[in-house]
Structure formats: structure tokens, C-alpha cells
Amino acid sequence: MDHTLTSKSELSVTEQVLWDRTVSGDIYGEIDFTKMSRVLDVGAHIGAFAVWAATSGAASVLAYEACPERHRRLALNAEEYTSITPILGTVGLSGGYVRPVQPESDCAPTPVLWTSRKAVPCIGLRQLLGESEVDLVRLNVGESVFAMLRQPGVVSLVKNVIGDYVGPDRRVLSLVSFLKRHGFTARAYRDGENRGKFFAFRQ
């Protein structure tokens, strides 16, 4: 069954997993998911990374997606993987509700506060973590990411961080510098103008 979106920019989940395992694999290196009991995928889209993690041995993947259309496809793609929990919502600085900002045919990654019936839940990263470590967090770099990771006690509970960024290079470089100061080996990789990927692993 084809669960892809209609936009020509979308890939099937299988195509995305292959993309992640080749292109992202070259950037991130070999990620040993078999040693990971808790993975957070924030902005999971239709599940490419979540499926990669699940099929590679991650014990539990919480996959958050705020766009209802993408979440529906995420849930369908995750059906055969008991380790994936697809969640309609997002992770942010604090709890509340958000509505994705998107054109009619797609959903952008940046949510805004909203009070309409279309709002989806947002859980604060600090609240989500509690006192338990998370093996890996995948997210997109935005202004809220800096605030989330800089909350007291958060960065010490996160072992690895990977993700994508769109926007000024200085934004992701600031994040990389921050993570290095907290004991990570971190690097950003540009794969276009003002866009790319980054990773940060504990030393």
C-alpha cells in the first residue's frame, strides 16, 4: 500500500529509509541502534527515520508528528513495528497545543500556538524526559531547539542528538558549539545553501 503524500517532493517510506541509510549514514556514521532502549523522533514525518531505527534494533521509538496528514501515514507505516509509537503532536519548550503552519498540500515543521479544534498536543521536552536518559533524539534545528536543550537538566539526559537544519548556518553552528561544551563530539554538514544535517554523540 502506498502511504506517500501527493507532493512531488515526498518519498515513500521505503525510499526515505534507503536515503537515510545511505546519505545520512555517510554523515552520521554507523549508529548502533541495538544498544538503544529509548529513541525520540521529533518531526517524524511519515516515519522514515523511525522505521530505520526500529528495523536496526531500537527497543522503543516515540515518533512525534504534528501534521495530521503526515501522522496518518506515519501510523500506517508503523503498524508492523511494535517498537514504534506514533504520536500526533510535538515536543517543545513547554506543554500546550500547537497547530502546524502549512500550505494546503503540505505541513511545515514550524508550529505556532493555536486554540482551535485543529490544535494538537505539545509536551515539554523536560517533562517528557523526566529523570530518565534518552539514547537518541532526532530533531530539526529551530529557535525552540536551543531553548529546549538549554533547560536545566535536559542536556545531561540526552546521549546523542541528530537532525536537519534549514536556515542560517550560524544557528546550527551555535548549537554544535553548545553541545561540544557539554561533552559531545558534534559536527554540522552542509548539503545545500543554508541547509544540512548535524550530529552530536557523547564522547
Instruction: Kindly list the structural domains of the chain, giving each domain's residue range(s) and its CATH number in brackets, ordered by start.
Output: 13-202 (3.40.50.150)
Distance of CA 155 to the CA centre of its chain: 16
Evaluate whether 191 touches 164 at the Cβ level (below 8 Å).
no
CA neighbor of 155 nearest in space, from 126, 176, 128: 126
Concatenated DSSP letters of 38-80? -EEEES-TTSHHHHHHHHTT-S-EEEEE--HHHHHHHHHHHTT
At 158, the amino acid letter reads V
**Residue 129 CA to chain centroid, in angstroms?**
15
* Residue 163 falls in which region: left (phi positive, over 0), alpha (psi -120 to 50) or beta: left
Tell me: the pLDDT tens digits for 26-82? 555 568 899 999 999 998 988 888 988 998 899 999 999 988 888 999 999 999 999
Q: Which residues of the chain have pLDDT under 70?
A: 1-30, 100-117, 142-143, 203
What span, in angstroms and rounded, lies between the C-alpha atoms of 164 and 49?
Answer: 12
Q: 19-40: buried (b, 16+ CB within 10 Å) or exposed (e) per residue?
A: ebeeebeebbeebebeebebbb
- The pair phi, psi for residue 40, each rounded to 5°, is -110, 125
Q: What angle do CA 74, 75, 77 make, to 5 degrees?
A: 65
pLDDT of 98: 75
